[in-house]
C-alpha cells in the first residue's frame, strides 16, 4: 500500500494502493512506461519499494526467503530465461523447486504430477518431450505459464501472460485464469490487451505515469474520456456486440 518506487532518479510508481483478494482476477493496464512491470516486480517481492509496503498473507513479500516467497507467489516476467537443452516437461517441473523435495533430493511423484497437470491446463501436454528451443513463441509462453502453475502458489503475478499467443490461445489462457480464480487463486496480470482485460477480468487497474488513474470493472474504467486521456485521441471505445463490455479500437481517420 502507498507504494513509491524510484529508478535511475525517476519516480516510476507514486503512491500506488492496490489490494488483490483471494479469487480475484485483476488486470493492470496502461500505456508504455506507466509502471506496470515495476508494480508486478514489487508484488512478486523482487523489488523493494522506497516507501510503502507490499504484503502477501500479512508478510512483507520482499523480506521472505526465496523458497518461501515462491510458495506464496508465482511470477511470470515479460522475458523469462529458460535453461538451454531442457524438454518442456522439465521446464514445467522447474516450478517445483520450492517444494519440499525438488533439486537436491530428487523429483518426487508429486512434482512430476504437478508438472503434468500444469502442462495439461495450458494445452501443452503434447509438447512434454519436445526441446523448448523447438517450440514456437506462443507454445513457449504457455510452457512457461505451466512452470508458474506447477509451483502451487496461490497468488499468480503475470507480466503479459498472453504475449505471442494467437487469438484462440489468448482466450484459452484468459479462461484458464478465470477458472483458477474460481478455485481460490488470485491473479494479478499486466496486459496491453484492453479488450481481453475487459472481457475476462473482474477488475482493471489503469496506470499512467506511475499513478492509478482509476480501478474497477471494465464498464467503469474503459470510458471514452478516460481512455483518450490516458492513451491519446487515437482510441475509441465501443460496446462489444455480444456482451456489451467496452472494447477499444483505433480511431481511423476519415
| pLDDT for residue 253 | 77
Q: What is the 3-state secondary structure (H, E, C) of 84-152?
A: CCCEHHHHHHHHHHHCCCEHHHECCHHHHHHHHHHHHHCCCHHHCCCEHHHCCHHHHHHHHHHHHHHHC
| pLDDT for residue 251 | 85
The whole-chain average pLDDT of the chain stands at 93
| pLDDT for residue 234 | 85
Longest dimension (CA), the chain: 66
With a cut of 60, say whether residue 101 has pLDDT above it: no
Q: Cα dist. 157→28, 62, 134 in Å?
A: 10, 14, 26
Confidence of residue 82 (pLDDT cuts 50, 70, 90): confident
pLDDT digits 0-9 by tens, 202-244:
999 999 999 999 999 999 999 999 999 999 888 899 999 999 9
Contact between 181 and 23 (Cβ < 8 Å): yes
With a cut of 90, say whether residue 105 has pLDDT above it: no
Q: Tell me the C-alpha distance between 191 and 246, whole Å.
A: 16
Question: Quick one: cell of 98?
Answer: 520450492
> Using the 8-state DSSP alphabet, how is residue 182 labeled?
H
Task: Tell me which of 90 and 1 has the higher pLDDT.
Answer: 90
| pLDDT for residue 98 | 78
Percent of residues, the chain, with pLDDT higher than 70: 97
Contact between 203 and 216 (Cβ < 8 Å): yes
With a cut of 70, say whether residue 94 has pLDDT above it: yes
Question: Quick one: cell of 15?
Answer: 503512491
Q: Tell me the C-alpha distance between 128 and 54, whole Å.
A: 36
Place of cell 485483476: 26
Confidence of residue 104 (pLDDT cuts 50, 70, 90): low
Q: Tell me the C-alpha distance between 94 and 82, whole Å.
A: 10
Percent of residues, the chain, with pLDDT higher than 90: 84
What does DSSP say about strands 211-216 and 203-208: parallel, antiparallel, or unpaired?
antiparallel
pLDDT digits 0-9 by tens, 175-195:
999 999 999 999 999 999 999
**Alpha-carbon torsion 170, 228, 206, 182, what sign?**
negative
Which residues, listed in sequence order, are joined to residue 87 by a DSSP beta bridge?
131
| pLDDT for residue 20 | 96
| pLDDT for residue 83 | 84
| pLDDT for residue 216 | 97
pLDDT digits 0-9 by tens, 157-177:
999 999 989 999 999 999 999
Confidence of residue 84 (pLDDT cuts 50, 70, 90): confident
| pLDDT for residue 190 | 98
Confidence of residue 100 (pLDDT cuts 50, 70, 90): low
pLDDT, average across residues 112-139: 94
Contact between 51 and 6 (Cβ < 8 Å): no
pLDDT, average across residues 55-63: 93
Fold observed for domain 3-82+154-250: Rossmann fold (3.40.50)
Q: Tell me the C-alpha distance between 234 and 44, whole Å.
A: 33
Amino acid at each position: 500500500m502507498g507504494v513509491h518506487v524510484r529508478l535511475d532518479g525517476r519516480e516510476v510508481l507514486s503512491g500506488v494502493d492496490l489490494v488483490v483478494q483471494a479469487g480475484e482476477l485483476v488486470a493492470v493496464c496502461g500505456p508504455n512506461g506507466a509502471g506496470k512491470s515495476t508494480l508486478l516486480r514489487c508484488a512478486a517481492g523482487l523489488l523493494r519499494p522506497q516507501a510503502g509496503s507490499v504484503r502477501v498473507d500479512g508478510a512483507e513479500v520482499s523480506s521472505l526467503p526465496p523458497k518461501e516467497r515462491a510458495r506464496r507467489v508465482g511470477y511470470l516476467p515479460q522475458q523469462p530465461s529458460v535453461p538451454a537443452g531442457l524438454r518442456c516437461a522439465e521446464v514445467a517441473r522447474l516450478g517445483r523447486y520450492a517444494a519440499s523435495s525438488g533439486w537436491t533430493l530428487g523429483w518426487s511423484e508429486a512434482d512430476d504430477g504437478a508438472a503434468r497437470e500444469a502442462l495439461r491446463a495450458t494445452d501443452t501436454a503434447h509438447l512434454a518431450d519436445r526441446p523448448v528451443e523447438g517450440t514456437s513463441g506462443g507454445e513457449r509462453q504457455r510452457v512457461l505459464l505451466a512452470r508458474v502453475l506447477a509451483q502451487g502458489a496461490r497468488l499468480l503475478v503475470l507480466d503479459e501472460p498472453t504475449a505471442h499467443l494467437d487469438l484462440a490461445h489468448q482466450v484459452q489462457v484468459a479462461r484458464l485464469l478465470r477458472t483458477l480464480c474460481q478455485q481460490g487463486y488470485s491473479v494479478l496480470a499486466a496486459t496491453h490487451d484492453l479488450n481481453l482485460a475487459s472481457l475476462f477480468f473482474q477488475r482493471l487497474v489503469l496506470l499512467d505515469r506511475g499513478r492509478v488513474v482509476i480501478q474497477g470493472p471494465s464498464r467503469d474504467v474503459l470510458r471514452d474520456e478516460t481512455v483518450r486521456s490516458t492513451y491519446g485521441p487515437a482510441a475509441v471505445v465501443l460496446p462489444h456486440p455480444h456482451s456489451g463490455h467496452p472494447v477499444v479500437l483505433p480511431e481511423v481517420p476519415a
